[in-house]
Amino acid sequence: MKQDTAAKTMITTAVVFMGFALAFGLLVALKYIYPNIGNIEYLSAPRMRMWHTNSILYGWLLPAQMGILLYVIPRILHTKLFSETLGVVTGLIYFGSIIAGLIGILLGNVKNIEYGEIGSPYDYLVILSWVLFGINIIATILKRKVKYLYVSVWYALGSVIWTFFVMVTGHIFTQMVAGVNQANLNWFYVHNVVGLIFTPLGVAGAYYLIPKELNTPIYSHKLSMIGFWVISFVYVWTGAHHMMAGPSPDWLETVASVFSFSLLIPVIAVITNFLGTFATASKQNRFKGPVTKFLMGGTIYYLLTCIQGPMQAIPALNVIISKNDWIVGHAHMALLGAFSFFAIAGVYYVIPKIAGRPLYNTKLADQSFWIMLIASVPFFSSLFISGVIQGNMWLDPENTFVQTLMVTKKWHVIRALSGAFIIYAYSLFVHIVIMTLIGKGDMNQEITEEVSS
Ligand code: HEM
Ligand SMILES: [Fe+2]
């Protein structure tokens, strides 16, 4: 099979899936303003929320990151991917089970696990496809032609192992326990989907793309290793910060709060490294096209999210901002602002290389960045403001959920409007990716092809 077929399959399917997922996000956002929109059973708000979250996380973000790594890891290791055929088969099983799982959600085959709602047997198939992906990555590392492992490879390897345990915990172990224990495992799962799946995969990609696109070495290899090892020790302890002021034991909440704070160490290491590399790059390379812009935007949002995270674990603040719109804002800043920006940068970088021609239109791609960036500010802020209003109202048990919805309505209007602009930016993104693949090259721009074998 032709080189990079696996990467191309994962990435293009993910990009198309993103549109599908965003449309359902907008539908739910509109239901907050006009509750009667799409008033039929199958389009009910809970179903559509699960469609949005599961398809954006597992239809867009994860496969996009997997596809980018399938391209990047062989380049770093100066070898070919272990098996393109295995990669494509993995993609087919993976997307097949996500699509079947989503249809299952409509029909009521749902697990009571947030972010893990996809029912059996499709959840097992997702785990299986992850194992196949892991085999491909590990086998490529084993047949590498270089001695030392660059930090992206460490993160990819860590993620291959961690993701397996995170998925098994979320999809299988949670089904063996009940009550507080189940909630604890559920939040271990939710938090680690972000921290031990999307973070290492996103950071792995960015650690390759930033120096490559800016044409300068990474700022500090030592710092990158410190960041990696601290993340691997600290992250698993923090999930219980989602259950503060809930029925879990006090000691567990204290441990979660303390470890949440220690997350600042790896974050500072990663951010210093990324911004340090930007600072040492030549001025004309620094913001020369859509890839660097999305990388820079993602880095800033990663920093903001990770300052927010530990603060949210302070008990006095947690009472106000937990379990309401604030957390939805936090989740979007992390998964849209930081990791989807990194993933979009990766797609804009990889697709021209795979297609063997320049990006269809760099100016339009720059525009997709600016629209998405500008729209993301009111999108996140409206949710933060609405969350603080809700949190304060809930301090008085007399206030009902519906009352809080009425008070926060104008913020939900802003969220839906800015969401529509994000979807517009996405339509430019998908257009550029498709045009680049089918061969409508922009003649104004030249890229240097780099294909190592
Ligand atoms: C790459 C882009 C996006 C990503 C990665 C993403 C991710 C997520 C995640 C993880 C959640 C669950 C939050 C939680 O933990 O409670 C969520 C919920 C939601 N998202 Fe998105 N989202 C994206 C774009 C959008 C857009 C463009 C819109 C609106 C137009 C939107 C509207 C919503 C709504 C309405 C919810 C439900 C919130 C609730 O239950 O109150 N999302 N999204
Ligand atoms: Fe968390």
The 10s digit of each residue's pLDDT in 179-188 is: 999 999 999 9
- 8 Å CB contact between 57 and 26: no
Bridge partners, residue 361, by sequence: none
The distance of Cα 341 from the centroid of its chain, to the nearest Å, equals 9
Of the candidates 158, 245, 226, the residue with the CA atom closest to the CA atom of residue 197: 158
Domain layout of the chain by residue ranges: 1-148
Q: Could you tell me the distance, in angstroms and rounded to a whole number, from the CA of residue 53 to the centre of ligand 1?
A: 6
Q: Region 417-423: what's the mean pLDDT?
A: 98
CA distances from 41 to 38, 44, 107, 197 (A): 9, 5, 10, 33
- Give the SS3 label for residue 226: helix
Q: Ligand 1 atom 4: the closest Cα is on which residue?
A: 336
Q: Could you tell me the distance, in angstroms and rounded to a whole number, from the CA of residue 213 to the centre of ligand 1?
A: 30
| Per-residue pLDDT at 451 exceeds 80 | no
Ligand 1 atom with minimal separation from the 423 CA: 27
Q: Could you tell me the distance, in angstroms and rounded to a whole number, from the CA of residue 253 to the centre of ligand 2?
A: 12
pLDDT, residue 453, reads 37
Of the candidates 139, 142, 157, 145, the residue with the CA atom closest to the CA atom of residue 78: 145
Q: Could you tell me the distance, in angstroms and rounded to a whole number, from the CA of residue 310 to the centre of ligand 2?
A: 9
Of the candidates 237, 228, 164, 167, the residue with the CA atom closest to the CA atom of residue 199: 228
- 8 Å CB contact between 199 and 339: yes
Backbone angles phi, psi at 32, to 5 degrees: -70, -20
Q: Ligand 1 atom 21: the closest Cα is on which residue?
A: 25
pLDDT, residue 277, reads 96
Neighbours of ion ligand 2 (CB under 5 A): 191
Top mean pLDDT of 33-42, 85-94, 401-410 is at: 85-94
Cis, bond preceding 63 (omega within 30 deg of 0): no
pTM: 0.95
- Give the SS3 label for residue 416: helix
User: For 362-375, what is each residue's pLDDT tens digit?
Assistant: 999 999 999 999 99
| Per-residue pLDDT at 441 exceeds 60 | no
CA Rg, the chain, in Å? Answer: 21
From CA 224, how far away is CA 378, in angstroms rounded? Answer: 33
Ligand 1 atom with minimal separation from the 335 CA: 5
Smallest-distance ligand from the CA of 338: 1
Class of the domain covering 1-148: mainly alpha
Residue among 187, 301, 332, 383 whose CB has most ligand 1 atoms within 8 A, to mutate:
332
Of the candidates 199, 59, 39, 179, the residue with the CA atom closest to the CA atom of residue 118: 59
Q: Ligand 1 atom 20: the closest Cα is on which residue?
A: 25
- Give the SS3 label for residue 146: coil
CA distances from 42 to 100, 104, 106, 240, 259 (A): 15, 11, 6, 33, 41
From CA 41, how far away is CA 53, in angstroms rounded? Answer: 19
| Per-residue pLDDT at 448 exceeds 70 | no
User: For 145-154, what is each residue's pLDDT tens digit?
Assistant: 899 899 999 9
Contacts of 407 (CB under 8 A, 6+ apart): 389, 393
CB-defined site of ligand 1, < 6 Å: 22, 25-26, 28-29, 49, 52-53, 56-57, 61, 327-328, 331-332, 335-336, 340, 416, 419, 422-423
Of the candidates 61, 54, 64, the residue with the CA atom closest to the CA atom of residue 103: 54
Q: Could you tell me the distance, in angstroms and rounded to a whole number, from the CA of residue 377 to the centre of ligand 2?
A: 21
